[in-house]
Structure 1
Amino acid sequence: MITILLADDQALLRSTFRMLIDSCDDLTVVAEAANGEEAAALARRHRPDLVLMDIRMPVLDGLAATRLICSAPELTGTRVLILTTFETDEYVAHALEAGASGFLGKDVTPEALLAGIRTVVAGEALLSPAATRTLIDRFLSGPGSTGDRPRGSLAALTDREREITALAAHGLSNQEIAERLVVSPLTVRTHIHRAMTKVGARERTQLVVAAYQQGLVRVR
């Protein structure tokens, strides 16, 4: 069973997401938070598999809450899926650095939301190629970027790890990378995890940030 914490200051949206999520046999909502401070506290209490996080909330915003959750040693198994609008939210690039695993627009279809939850919990980033380029472009051009950046060098990666990291940075899933390289998805996942370890990335999205930061992939 995949456990989920909902963090949004709009009660109606939380109720809608709860009804949708709880209608699935493999998903359940364990708690709801109306602001980022509550989200961080409830995450520590319930240790959910995933936090569905609004980026704009009172008391403590979703960005700060994401950083608290992703940096907590006891929450290494908890992933954060951000709800936002790609083109307008200037804080999304910073959420990448903070450890968020993916992004969805608030106008997402029910099917896409459920698929996105399962994708992120499975350990894959939820970033389309277009969204990746938009976010990384904003991140690279923004002054004074802060947050927990991957600190290792991509120079430590093997040729295969660099190749797979580049494909992941372009938004390909493990399955798509496996099909392109004619290997198994498990092999792809192993290479991704080894690359993350070498770079010091907690999440796949941080590995993507490192790929752009260090020039492995260029913004188009």
Structure 2
Amino acid sequence: MNGAVVNGAVPRRTRVVIVDDHAVVRRGIRAYLEVLDDMEVAEEAANGQEALARLEWMAVNQCMPDVVLMDLLMPKMDGATTIGAIKKRYPEVQIVVLTSFGEMERVHAALAQGAAGYLLKDAEPGEVVSAIRAAARDEVFLDPAVARGLTQEIVSPPTGLAALTGRERDVLVLVAEGWTNQQIADELVISERTARTHVSNVLRKLRMTSRTQAALFAVQQGLVPRQRP
């Protein structure tokens, strides 16, 4: 039973930070969590940058949260980038995604950055609480639809273009147009190392060994026009 007293001691509440750019969403989640005797909403933030500022203040004051409940699509700093920044600075803080978007590309990005849970916003309030509690126990909690998608990828992994993320498709087009890794990096505003990683991922997923093969594939798929002789 939540909040049960064991041997005279009251269990410590799970401290939660809510990050969402919609105030009404934050207020709704806070109202629900605060009626639970094992939850405490420590802070709120409207975007990733604000979340990092709040966490920095909390670290200085030694009142860090256990779990950050976070949307993905936010202004100033998107959720996936924010997750990576939080896990790099505060690895002990667990993060649960609560978003409207269930595309596998977004799921992979969030989990790769260190998210401990992924829920869609049509989830029941009880599922949100279960995800927060699971994260606080260092466990992973996935929305059933997301879990099915990941399972399907394992059973029947996508091939060809379907295997590539949107960013990887962009990289494939640029490779086909003869761009170097540095030019790709400049165009996509990423580091040269990240561009090189994207190119390697494209080749691996397409089961190819050279940029020339990838370029021919892009032409065959109609991603870039054929060069006139």
Task: State TM-score, norm by structure 2.
Answer: 0.57
Question: Over residues 124-151 of structure 1, what are the superposed CA-to-partner deviations in whole Å (9 max), with x where a residue is unaligned?
Answer: 1012565235247399823567xxxxxx
Secondary structure of 2:130's aligned partner: helix
- Asked if residue 78 in structure 1 is aligned to residue 78 in structure 2, the reply is no
1:23 to 14, 21, 35: 35
- Asked if residue 94 in structure 1 is aligned to residue 109 in structure 2, the reply is yes
Q: C-alpha displacement at 1:85, in angstroms?
A: 3.8
Structure 1 residue runs without a partner (length 5+):
146-212, 214-220
Percentage of matched positions with identical amino acids = 34
Secondary structure of 2:96's aligned partner: strand
Q: 1:103 to 1:12 in 2, by over 3 A?
A: same
Secondary structure of 2:37's aligned partner: coil
Specify the alignment match of 1:117 in structure 2: 132
Q: Structure 1 counterpart of 2:84, which letter?
A: R
1:66 to 62, 71, 83: 83
- Structure with the greater alpha carbon radius of gyration: 2
Specify the alignment match of 1:142 in structure 2: 164
Secondary structure of 1:91's aligned partner: helix
Report the number of matched residues. 144
Question: Over residues 88-134 of structure 1, what are the superposed CA-to-partner deviations in whole Å (9 max), with x where a residue is unaligned?
Answer: 47422111110000111112212221122111111110125652352
- Name the Cα RMSD after superposition: 2.6
Q: Tell me, in whole angstroms, the C-alpha distance in 1 between the residues paired with 2:87 and 2:122.
A: 25
Specify the alignment match of 2:66 in structure 1: 49
Specify the alignment match of 1:12 in structure 2: 24
Q: 1:89 to 1:53 in 2, by over 3 A?
A: farther
Task: State TM-score, norm by structure 1.
Answer: 0.59
- Asked if residue 35 in structure 1 is aligned to residue 47 in structure 2, the reply is yes
Q: Structure 2 counterpart of 1:61, which letter?
A: D
Question: Does 1 or 2 have the higher relative contact order (CA < 8 Å, sep 6+)?
Answer: 1
Q: Tell me, in whole angstroms, the C-alpha distance in 1 between the residues paired with 2:150 and 2:25.
A: 25
Secondary structure of 1:77's aligned partner: coil
Q: Structure 2 counterpart of 1:115, which letter?
A: S
Q: C-alpha displacement at 1:86, in angstroms?
A: 5.4
Q: Is the 8 A contact 2:120 2:143 kept in 1?
A: no
